[in-house]
Amino acid sequence: MRAQPSLDSSRMLSMRAALALLLLPSLAAADIDEKGVRAGSVYTGADHDGVKPSPGITGGAFIVQRFAPNFGLQIESLFERQTFDLHPNNTDEGTFHLYAIEAPVLARLDVAPQRFYLAAGVGPVVSLGGVRSVMTSERVDEINSFNLAAQVGIGIEVPAGPGRITIDARYRHLLFDLSDTGNFINEPNAVKQSHMILVCVGYGFP
């Protein structure tokens, strides 16, 4: 019988994949048109009655490679701390913090050059596990380690100094279940796709 990977080996694989995603922009930055950093807030919900949306945080790096004056690819590497309020059976069961690395690859169309743009695409999501806090905090590993997420949104760039201030607002939806079980909220049913609103402010260097 084929041996199943242990929890420790799965966690190590997730951490290696997350590190690779974090390094993605720097590895691709040899010949690009724009690079920068950004940080902001995420508001995450899930398709489950026992999970209520709550604000979290995100931050990371991005690059832009243009193939035409108004079209290109925007590749990001973001660390996220998503927050969920847990209310199984309409009771208050504390909060759940999910830590993840996400690397969306977005097609970017500049509608008003150097001002306003549209972005849409998909990218991998690597879960680093979570922490459930009720009376005490405990680590949770029932979250699926790998997923894919689709994103669509808008952005604005404002010239500032040698670069530009960027403001992005996007909707993101997981393409597969967040968890195969609901154990982390004390319910047996799977927690379906999560959806998220992301708002970031950053600075892009030429």
What is the pTM for the complete model shown? 0.76
- Number of separate domains in the chain: 1
Instruction: Quick: pLDDT tens for 122-145.
Output: 999 988 877 877 655 666 666 778
Q: Is the model's pLDDT at 103 over the cut of 60?
A: yes
Report the CATH number that the domain containing residue 67 is assigned in CATH: 2.40.160.20
Report the C-alpha gap between 45 and 87 in whole angstroms: 12
DSSP 20-44: HHHHHHHHTGGG-SEEEEEEEEEEE
Find the mean pLDDT for residues 153-158.
94
Q: Has residue 63 been placed in a domain?
A: yes
Q: Has residue 29 been placed in a domain?
A: yes
**Residue 179: DSSP 8-state:** B
Find the mean pLDDT for residues 159-168.
92
Residue 121: which pLDDT band, with cuts at 50, 70 and 90? very high
For the chain, what is the mean pLDDT?
Answer: 78
Find the mean pLDDT for residues 29-53.
78
Q: Has residue 157 been placed in a domain?
A: yes
Q: Has residue 84 been placed in a domain?
A: yes
Q: Has residue 27 been placed in a domain?
A: yes
Give the closest residue to 140 by CA, choosing from 17, 11, 3: 11
pLDDT the model gives residue 10: 47
Q: Has residue 60 been placed in a domain?
A: yes
Pick 9 or 92 by higher pLDDT. 92
Q: What are phi and psi of 28, to 5 degrees?
A: -95, 5
Q: Which two tokens stand for residue 24?
A: 């993605």
- Go through 45-69 and write b for each residue having 16 or more CB atoms within 10 A of its CB, e for each that does not: bbebebbebbebebebbbbbbeeee
pLDDT the model gives residue 145: 83
Instruction: Quick: pLDDT tens for 47-65.
Output: 666 677 788 999 999 999 8
Which of 7-21, 31-45, 146-160 is predicted least confidently? 7-21
CA distances from 180 to 99, 104, 145 (A): 17, 23, 11
Domain containing 148 equals 7-205
Q: Has residue 2 been placed in a domain?
A: no
3-state secondary structure of 137: strand
Q: Is the model's pLDDT at 177 over the cut of 70?
A: yes
Find the mean pLDDT for residues 117-121.
96
Find the mean pLDDT for residues 89-113.
82
Q: Which two tokens stand for residue 72?
A: 């290109």
pLDDT the model gives residue 189: 56
Report the C-alpha gap between 138 and 33 in whole angstroms: 44
Q: Has residue 108 been placed in a domain?
A: yes
